[in-house]
Each structure stands twice: as C-alpha cells, then as structure tokens.
Structure 1
C-alpha cells in the first residue's frame, strides 16, 4: 500500500522490523510520558508483542516506511487486545507511534487509515485508545478518526516525577 500524498509504503510488521520498532518505541519511553513504560526495552523483550500481531485478524501491526532504497521506518500502528477476558474479544486498543522526525506530515493519519480499513473485515465492534494528557496531536488524530472521549483517569500514572491523566477514547466499528 502506498500513498501519493504522504509518500510512504505500508506493510504488516515482521520479525526483521523488530529493532526499528523497538527504537521508535524506546524514544517515547525515554523522552515522553505518552507511554508509561519507564525502562527502554531490548528487541528480544518486544518479540512476544510483535508475534501477537499476525498479518491478519483483529490484532494488526502496520509499519510505514519511506519509499526507495533506504526504506527507513517512519512509524507503526497497532490494534491489540483490549483486555484478556474472552468477552472483550470484539474490542481492540489502537495506537500509533512515529519516528520523531516523521511527525506532522500525515504518516500517522495514513497508518490509521490503513489500520481501520484492515479492521473493517474483522469481527471487531469497538476500538479504544488511551491518551496520556497533554497530547494534543494524539487527541486530534483520534477525533479525526471518529473516536469520542468517554472518560479520564486522573493522575493514574507517574512518570518523570509528575502524575499524568489518561483520556480514554472509543470508536464504534462494524
């Protein structure tokens, strides 16, 4: 899949992507509160996460790469299990992470568009997203895709010595 507007190539994530995926995620672990992980991860520690996102089904991992010989990873989007109990099987939690130098150019929007198109044929009823506040870019992209805020967990996590709220967003699917 390729977009003329943002000029990226999107494909399912695979084992060869593990180091680049981990590097992008670790940027957010080290530099921001958007994830509540506080210790950077090694690629091997992220392998079970990667393997839990097959190429089809409701739990997807899509990777965006710059076109051409470099094929540099620009970011990724996922749909993951919302909760482990069986009755939650038709709900997913979505997220998008971009390389710090790939923000603001439409890559995240294109990744989410591809993700929700892939989910359209799946037995998925709701998508949820938790957004650490403040994060106007994440709030904006979720609203653009039809998510509505359904609640806020106040001061639910502490990172960098500061308590952070998490807003929860919901999108109807199917």
Structure 2
C-alpha cells in the first residue's frame, strides 16, 4: 500500500494518549522481541514514561494518529541514552507502529517530526538499538542517516531464546 500521509496527523504525545500508547506497546511486549520487556504494562505503570517526554527539550514523544478518527497509529520517542551527566547530549530513539498500520510511511513521518523537534536542542548523537532480525527497522534508521556501529550478541533472552541487538548512531 502506498503512503497515505494526508490521512495521518503527527503531533506531540499527550496524557490522553496513554491508554492507546500502552496498548500499542503491550502488543510488542507480548508478541515480539522488538522490546525486551516481558510483562505487559498497565496505563498507570506506563504513565511515568509518558510524562518523561515533555513538549520541549531533548526527550520528546511524537504520536501519529488517523486524522479522521484519532486512532493512534504509532509513536516515536527520544529518551536519555544513559543516566550519567556526560551522556546528556545523546539520546536513544525508537519507533513503534501499530501492527495493522505498517508499510504506510508512518515510521518515516514520525521520525521526520521527531528529528525536526530535536533540531536546536543541543544534541550531539542519537542511538538506536534494533533487536535482530528486523530489516524494516534497520532500513528506516539507515534512511535517516543512522550508521551501524556494532552488535551486542545474545544480550536479551525472551521467548526461550537469545536475541542480538544491533546498535546504530546518527550525528545530530
């Protein structure tokens, strides 16, 4: 299916998105190794994550919705890369798209909005850890200028097997 950008609105995430964002993330928790969380979250448990992404600053949350119905189609976020102060100019980015909304260019729209919002925030690097295999996510990140820097081998254990994570970085 070709991209249908006119039907998609991208905006900062708000507290009213919490239930839909939690449901979307929980799909990936339950069904995939894309995230290494293993137990689904309640909206109350996920609320601190949402609140850690204000509408300004280096840690953002962008949400794609269906323009006609307001249904959440996906989100992209930038979060602290590591907790220590010297890492403050680096962020980790991620994208999640609803399973029935893939291949419509939503991930691209989300990253365009996210990186546009991060411009001028004094950031130096963005990092993305991609559980392997995930060719679609790798292609998306490469389109946005991320380059492969290395793989953590068998770093996560989920669904009874070990998973590698390939790390990519982008100069900001």
- SS of the aligned residue for 2:5 comes to coil
- SS of the aligned residue for 1:127 comes to strand
* RMSD over aligned Cα atoms: 1.1
**Alignment check: 8 A CA contact 2:4 2:105 kept:** no
1:127-138 matched pairs, under 5 angstroms: 127-138=126-137
Q: CA deviation at 1:6?
A: 5.2
CA–CA separation in structure 2 for the residues paired with 1:95 and 1:10: 15
Question: How many residues matched?
Answer: 170
CA–CA separation in structure 2 for the residues paired with 1:165 and 1:4: 33
Gap regions ≥5 residues in structure 2: none
Q: CA deviation at 1:30?
A: 0.3
* Divergent runs of 4+, >6 A: none
Does 1:27 find its partner at 2:48? no
Aligned to 1:96: 95
Aligned to 1:40: 40
**Alignment check: 8 A CA contact 2:58 2:79 kept:** yes
Per the normalisation by structure 1, the TM-score is 0.95
Aligned to 2:53: 53
Aligned to 2:83: 84
- SS of the aligned residue for 2:54 comes to coil
Task: Spell out, residue by residue over 1:132-161, the C-alpha distance to the aligned partner (whole angstroms, 9 max, x if none).
Answer: 000011101000100001010000001100
Task: Spell out, residue by residue over 1:69-96, the C-alpha distance to the aligned partner (whole angstroms, 9 max, x if none).
Answer: x211100000000000110000000000
Q: CA deviation at 1:4?
A: 6.8
Gap regions ≥5 residues in structure 1: none
